Structure 1
Amino acid sequence: MNFKSFVKECHDKEVFKNLSIYIVSSWVLIQVFSVIYEPFGLPKISMTYLLLVLLVGFPFYVYLLWRYRLKPLESKFSRRKGLKVTSKTAGSKEELKGLKKRKVHLPGVHFYSPFQKLYFTSLFIISLISLFSAALIVKANFINQDNMSAFTFPEEPDNDRIAVLPFENNTTDPNLDVIGKMAVDWIMHGITQNKVGQVISPKVVEDYTKVLKATLVPSGENGVLKEYLKPSKVVTGTYYLKDGRLLLQCSVLDGNMNRTLVSFEITECDADSPLDCIEAVKQRVLGYLDSKGMAQLALEETPPNYKAYKLWLESDALLELQSDEQLSYINEAIAADSSFFKPKIDRVAYYYNRDQFAVADSLLQVLAAETGTKKEQLNMIKHYEACFNGDNRMAYRTYQEEYNVAPVEIELNLSTMVLALQFVNRPQDVDSIYRAIPEDDFDLDNCISCEYRYFVKGMANLELEQLDETIELLEPYARTAGQEWIKEVLMKAYVMDENHTAVYDLLQHIRLLGRIDYWQLMMLKTGLEYLKSGDDSKANQYFDEVLEYQEKRGALLSLAEREIQAELIFYKKDYPEAQNKFEALLPESGDAIAIQSFLAMTYYKNGNQIMAEESLAKLDNLRAKYQFGEVDYALARYYALTDNEHETLDHLTKAVAAGKRFTSTTFQNDVLFQSMKSKEDFQKILTFWY
């Protein structure tokens, strides 16, 4: 039986009609349930369970359809031509042999007709699809959760109500009851003042209990909370005396009071100064309640002091603005709570991101020595140790663990994209990381991280030769006033797309905005892109336009402009003039490695081999800690210019092994390495960290 005949027979036997009944009924059930589950007080996860039941039930329905509707029809062999012979009525060996050919046996199933065989084949395929779909739902809703409690209905109500219960006096001194009342009042005041949630006081619980008792409804403190007030969290505590000292213990429970969410360390103070204990406990409670759900604070062994937490929030906001004031808030947060890990690791990151690697490394060593055994803290320390050691693979791997906790937090998301592209050169990883955050809510004018995410995404697209997607993503920002990182990638895409008019218009727009320093740098980078594509004429047009502008400014050129000028002359192959420019820059420039490298190359091109060798020796003497392969990369550029492929590849390998990053101007994006990009040994360097 062919497929067309099978479909026709299914139609004749009303198979599709019966299947449509299940599908339409399921759809109606889902629609109705989506409306009624909330009024009935069912959790949102109920819808997931319903979908799973309907998916898994579909194959069973298909089988039952066969068992009770189709099988009785199939059993009437007398009505089917060619199926009248059975093992009992077969009169010859030939008839019996023919019967065996018609029967196809599977464990527990006997196919007496082609229709049945195709029906069960379809059932098998439907079962696979249903199970696969159910597996995806389970993975998305349960397997990726932080703990396996996701398989059960949530015990904690989804609200911001926080009940504060009386603190139990275990001192045996009723005169100290006032301490418990003070603790409750202090914590409630802090919750209300800082808008952490809606407070349910012991008085409210007591009033509800009295009312319910008066109406003869069974009640008790726990029952009132669970059945009527339904807080999301419950704060409770106890206090006692030991050797003349007051010890105060506090915990936060879930709304049903059957699971302890956090139990704070015992706070100890002088019995005559109970407010010291109460204030310390309040800070811990507020720190926990306000930071609950912030994935980055999963690093903490104990909830931070609330004052420290607020200071850290200020520092985190300044991180987005790349403000130097961030450091003062970080230091204040650490001073307010010496056990607060996040600002300590943020301080390491602050110096690391500003290339002050020695300071950052020394702070990391101190932090590592005082850190306990918490996995998340050790992982972040291991990450920065890998960064300082130039072990890019380990740096990427350890940060992925941090990213997996909160893929939608923009700083974690951006850092992971940067690590994927620039540390280990895996542009194929960038897209899934980028798409973890919806694009709708970005204000690029006030979000530097958002802009840089576009830059990294665009560069990854170019590495994967996705030109159209890159232009479509970034072109809306071609005429904006800022977004300089985005414009660099857009320029590269236009050059690769041979859209020369768009390139020129983009550069002219940048110049009209008045950012002359940035315009000169972009003109240099544009010329280099044309050199990479083999269009020397176009490259020189951009170089000459900048040089003409700089010539008019004369002695007014800044150090940065003079460095651009020297490079422009070098790439125009005016090596004698380039030598003069770089020699003049060497005493002033802060990048001695780059200047010495250019000098060595100009000396070589000018036929002065002795001076070239001297520059190489000076370059080699510039080696120092935390350079991450900078010197070897500079040497590789020299040997590439001199067509010494063996030395070029050798130094490039050393550079990448020391942690040299894959940026928009290095390795495959460096104009000096274009002749060897397609060679196998060069490709091995690009995949060094795979």
Structure 2
Amino acid sequence: MKLNSFFKQCHEKEVFKMLSIYVVSAWVVLQVLAITWQPLGLPQKSVTFLIVVLLLCFPIYIFFLWKLRISPVNLTIEEEEDEKEGSKRIAFRKMYFTALGIITSICVIVAFLIVNNNFFKRTIVATPTIEKNDKIAVLKFGNNTGDPQYDIVSKMAADWIIHGITENNVAQVITQDQVDEYKSILKSKNIEDEDNTIVKKYLNPSKIISGNFYLKNNNLIFQGMLTDGKTNQTSFSFRPTECPADNPLKCIEDLNELITGYFITEDQKKLMLQENPPKYEAYKYLLEAKYSTDDQTYINLLNQAIAADSTYFEPKVLRVGHYYNQKEFKKSDSLLKLIKPDSYTNKRQLNLLNMYRALLKGDNHTVYNSILKEYNIAPFDLITNRTAMVVALQYVNRPEDVDDIYKTVAMDSMNLQNCSDCASRIYIKAYADIEMKKYNSAIQIIEDAQQEVEAKMLNRPLATAYVRADKTAALNKFLKRIEFTANPTQTQELFLQVGKEFLLKNDQPTANEYFDKIIDAEPKTDIEMLLADAYFYKEEWAKAKIALKEVLQKEPKNIEATAKLAICNFKLGNSADAENLLLHLETLRANYQFGEVDYALGQYYAATNNVNSVYKNLLKAVANGHLYLWKSYVNDPIFKNFRNQKEFDDVMKFWN
């Protein structure tokens, strides 16, 4: 049926007439509700809700129009119609329901968009918001230059600050114009002309922003203050801003940033790292950095925050921490030396600076005490909480402390897909449970997390827990899935870890099965050390020696590979080569190694069964900051015959 024929029949059957009745009636109802919702005490979104209901009812109305008005008429003439008329009737019905389907789709889509935009709030974490407070009065700044040409700057400063407050929804603002209007009205009542008096007595703001500016050496210097609206006492003085006399807008912009920054951080004073609030733009960059998942974006945003406010302490400290975590220790140390505290009475700033100095020196006892102080101030901050867990487990070997720190932040409402710190916290908690032999707890927390998000970092602790809990069937099922979903490097890293775990259980044959998977794997990974380790832990010393030499050709300063090559030479009877490699190890000592050479020497002496030298070098390693990781000390198969000795226990409890 052609479209014009369809419209003609709709007109004949009074379809358009009935539809227009619905549309007009709906419009009238909407107009009435738009006027009466407030007097009737209905919610503000009542009109929106009615629009959605009317939209969804429209296709239902069209359907019942067919059912109750058009279809009965068709039935009465069905017996009398000829074949041609019958085909027209069928074509009309088909076109009618096609149109109904299109209208239904449009109504549903429009209703969905309305509901989505009005009834579901989206939270954008990158940009901070400020809760609306009581009224704030912004008075024009006093011109103390003695030059009338700067009178306009007085008004400009107030207007700019008002714009910043209203734009960020800080509070209702009382402007200078409103104050002047009151002054003109109240003159006949012998009211003093002082702006502060009028504001306080008649407008009752909670806070008053005022200030002045003056000339010094051809520069304008602006001073702003915040006054309590009730007591009329100055509650905060903003640091002065200075700019060329021919560019007062720069001073005004800087002052505006300081004022907005003050209000946005006012309810976080306990968590602030500095006495003076940062500029708003700097604070925004910092907040965006904290929610960034990309390292380069993170450091760029920190640099932007520092550029926006050179006095902002927190991004400077976070930048030091970033380069430390990236193992760029020299850069981290040089940036740390550039940071000066706001004052030597700011205990929190001094504590953080002491913590990073201790980190770069390998003084893990001081690191732990410092992070606990920071944790007690901000226990619910995810970064601080995660860092405290890491330090407790890996720096001072106190896995028993991890659980209480972990439980401080409830994970039930966390979306793991959008929270990298959450996955890191689960990783540390799982390893802490493993160290305390709570294998089932570690398995449960990881399996629960992996149902929500595929976090590759959790695969290694899960495999470790399966082996130590003797859950062979679960381990095999897990590794079979990994072989299909992970890349060759990730798969073979897990095979190596599982093999080492069986070595710790003194099950060399089962361990060798996993090492063979690495040796026989196709394709090979691009990490030569994996193959070298497989031969090494399988005790195929000659093949391990060849593989380790290939590693050292590419990485001549690889301390771990050098120590293992020395062990291979010793096992093969090449004592002279082994001794030369030990001498070479000594030449590899450098700053920021945190006992890595001493630990490697401890490995060598363990493999050669030189008991006294084992403990001597391990104590030196831990004293210099070598971490208690998933692959070191009691978790290192090289030390499996030494783990139960008292001297080894002294190493593990060195920082306790």
TM-score (norm 2): 0.73
Structure 2 residue 284 is matched with structure 1 residue 303: no
For the 8 Å contact 2:544–2:568, the answer to whether it is kept is yes
1:428-507 matched pairs, under 5 angstroms: 428-478=400-450, 482-507=454-479
Structure 2 residue 486 is matched with structure 1 residue 514: yes
With over 3 angstroms needed to count, the CA separation of the structure-2 counterparts of 1:440 and 1:574, relative to structure 1, is same
Q: Which amino acid aligns with 2:421?
A: S
Which residue of 280, 290, 309 maps to 1:316?
290
With over 3 angstroms needed to count, the CA separation of the structure-2 counterparts of 1:371 and 1:669, relative to structure 1, is farther
Q: Aligned residue for 2:588?
A: 622
Q: Which amino acid aligns with 2:154?
A: G
Q: Aligned residue for 1:166?
A: 139
1:171-250 matched pairs, under 5 angstroms: 171=144, 178-201=152-175, 221-222=199-200, 231=206, 234-240=208-214, 246-250=220-224
Q: Which amino acid aligns with 1:593?
A: I
Structure 2 residue 655 is matched with structure 1 residue 681: no
Q: Aligned residue for 1:667?
A: 633
Q: Which amino acid aligns with 1:498?
A: D
With over 3 angstroms needed to count, the CA separation of the structure-2 counterparts of 1:162 and 1:570, relative to structure 1, is farther
Alpha-carbon distance, 1:284 to partner? 0.8
Q: Which amino acid aligns with 2:651?
A: I
Alpha-carbon distance, 1:322 to partner? 3.9
Q: Secondary structure at the match of 1:325?
A: helix
For the 8 Å contact 2:518–2:530, the answer to whether it is kept is no
Q: Which amino acid aligns with 2:610?
A: N
Deviations 1:228-262 (A, max 9, x none): x6x5x543334455677544221234564566553
Structure 2 residue 575 is matched with structure 1 residue 597: no
Q: Which amino acid aligns with 1:623?
A: R
Alpha-carbon distance, 1:297 to partner? 6.4
For the 8 Å contact 2:393–2:428, the answer to whether it is kept is yes
Alpha-carbon distance, 1:632 to partner? 0.4
With over 3 angstroms needed to count, the CA separation of the structure-2 counterparts of 1:566 and 1:224, relative to structure 1, is farther
Q: Secondary structure at the match of 2:555?
A: coil
Q: Aligned partners of 1:296, 1:460: CA distance in 2, in Å?
A: 30
Alpha-carbon distance, 1:448 to partner? 1.9
With over 3 angstroms needed to count, the CA separation of the structure-2 counterparts of 1:650 and 1:209, relative to structure 1, is farther
Alpha-carbon distance, 1:614 to partner? 1.2
Which residue of 243, 247, 251 maps to 1:277?
251
Identity of aligned residues (%): 36
Q: Aligned residue for 1:137?
A: none
Structure 2 residue 329 is matched with structure 1 residue 363: no
Q: Secondary structure at the match of 1:413?
A: helix
Deviations 1:427-471 (A, max 9, x none): 121112111212123222232221111011111112222223222
For the 8 Å contact 2:213–2:222, the answer to whether it is kept is yes
Q: Aligned partners of 1:542, 1:296: CA distance in 2, in Å?
A: 52
Q: Which amino acid aligns with 1:649?
A: Y
Q: Which amino acid aligns with 2:200?
A: N
Q: Aligned residue for 1:584?
A: 550
Q: Aligned partners of 1:430, 1:652: CA distance in 2, in Å?
A: 24
With over 3 angstroms needed to count, the CA separation of the structure-2 counterparts of 1:162 and 1:242, relative to structure 1, is farther
For the 8 Å contact 2:557–2:588, the answer to whether it is kept is no
With over 3 angstroms needed to count, the CA separation of the structure-2 counterparts of 1:591 and 1:197, relative to structure 1, is farther
Q: 200-209 or 430-439, which moves further after superposition?
A: 200-209
Q: Secondary structure at the match of 1:262?
A: strand
With over 3 angstroms needed to count, the CA separation of the structure-2 counterparts of 1:246 and 1:493, relative to structure 1, is same
Q: Which amino acid aligns with 2:404?
A: S
Deviations 1:249-308 (A, max 9, x none): 212345645665531122344555432322221011112222334469622242222333
Q: Aligned partners of 1:461, 1:371: CA distance in 2, in Å?
A: 41
Aligned length: 522
Q: Aligned partners of 1:465, 1:251: CA distance in 2, in Å?
A: 59
Q: Which amino acid aligns with 2:608?
A: T
Q: 379-388 or 532-541, which moves further after superposition?
A: 532-541
Q: Aligned partners of 2:179, 2:168: CA distance in 1, in Å?
A: 22
With over 3 angstroms needed to count, the CA separation of the structure-2 counterparts of 1:558 and 1:542, relative to structure 1, is closer
With over 3 angstroms needed to count, the CA separation of the structure-2 counterparts of 1:206 and 1:416, relative to structure 1, is farther
Structure 2 residue 262 is matched with structure 1 residue 262: no
Alpha-carbon distance, 1:613 to partner? 1.1
Q: Which amino acid aligns with 1:185?
A: D
Q: Aligned partners of 1:521, 1:296: CA distance in 2, in Å?
A: 44
Q: Aligned residue for 1:608?
A: 574
With over 3 angstroms needed to count, the CA separation of the structure-2 counterparts of 1:179 and 1:198, relative to structure 1, is same
For the 8 Å contact 1:191–1:197, the answer to whether it is kept is yes
For the 8 Å contact 2:395–2:628, the answer to whether it is kept is yes
Q: Which runs of 5+ in 2 are unaligned?
A: 1-129, 189-196
Which residue of 367, 370, 392 maps to 1:420?
392
With over 3 angstroms needed to count, the CA separation of the structure-2 counterparts of 1:181 and 1:170, relative to structure 1, is closer
Q: Aligned partners of 2:203, 2:401: CA distance in 1, in Å?
A: 48
Q: Which amino acid aligns with 1:221?
A: V
Q: Aligned partners of 2:398, 2:233: CA distance in 1, in Å?
A: 43
Q: Which amino acid aligns with 1:390?
A: G
Q: Aligned partners of 2:297, 2:403: CA distance in 1, in Å?
A: 33
For the 8 Å contact 1:633–1:655, the answer to whether it is kept is yes
With over 3 angstroms needed to count, the CA separation of the structure-2 counterparts of 1:563 and 1:272, relative to structure 1, is closer
For the 8 Å contact 2:143–2:150, the answer to whether it is kept is no
Q: Secondary structure at the match of 1:303?
A: coil
For the 8 Å contact 1:169–1:176, the answer to whether it is kept is no
Q: Aligned residue for 1:568?
A: 534
Q: Aligned partners of 2:556, 2:268: CA distance in 1, in Å?
A: 41
1:545-560 matched pairs, under 5 angstroms: 545-549=517-521, 552-553=522-523, 557-560=524-527
Q: Which runs of 5+ in 1 are unaligned?
A: 1-156
Alpha-carbon distance, 1:415 to partner? 0.9
Q: Aligned partners of 1:193, 1:179: CA distance in 2, in Å?
A: 21
Q: Secondary structure at the match of 1:339?
A: coil
Q: Secondary structure at the match of 1:404?
A: helix
Q: Aligned residue for 1:651?
A: 617
For the 8 Å contact 1:298–1:376, the answer to whether it is kept is no
Structure 2 residue 300 is matched with structure 1 residue 328: yes
Alpha-carbon distance, 1:480 to partner? 6.5
For the 8 Å contact 1:234–1:257, the answer to whether it is kept is no
Q: Aligned residue for 1:89?
A: none
With over 3 angstroms needed to count, the CA separation of the structure-2 counterparts of 1:197 and 1:540, relative to structure 1, is farther
Q: Aligned partners of 2:446, 2:185: CA distance in 1, in Å?
A: 64
With over 3 angstroms needed to count, the CA separation of the structure-2 counterparts of 1:246 and 1:546, relative to structure 1, is closer
C-alpha root-mean-square deviation of aligned residues, in Å?
3.3
Q: Aligned partners of 1:536, 1:511: CA distance in 2, in Å?
A: 23
Q: Secondary structure at the match of 2:568?
A: helix
With over 3 angstroms needed to count, the CA separation of the structure-2 counterparts of 1:538 and 1:329, relative to structure 1, is same
1:115-130 matched pairs, under 5 angstroms: none
Structure 2 residue 324 is matched with structure 1 residue 352: yes
Q: Which amino acid aligns with 1:496?
A: R
Alpha-carbon distance, 1:195 to partner? 4.2
Q: Which amino acid aligns with 1:304?
A: P
1:118-157 matched pairs, under 5 angstroms: none
With over 3 angstroms needed to count, the CA separation of the structure-2 counterparts of 1:370 and 1:262, relative to structure 1, is closer
Q: Aligned partners of 2:581, 2:504: CA distance in 1, in Å?
A: 26
For the 8 Å contact 1:291–1:297, the answer to whether it is kept is no
Q: Secondary structure at the match of 1:396?
A: helix
Q: Aligned partners of 2:410, 2:171: CA distance in 1, in Å?
A: 28
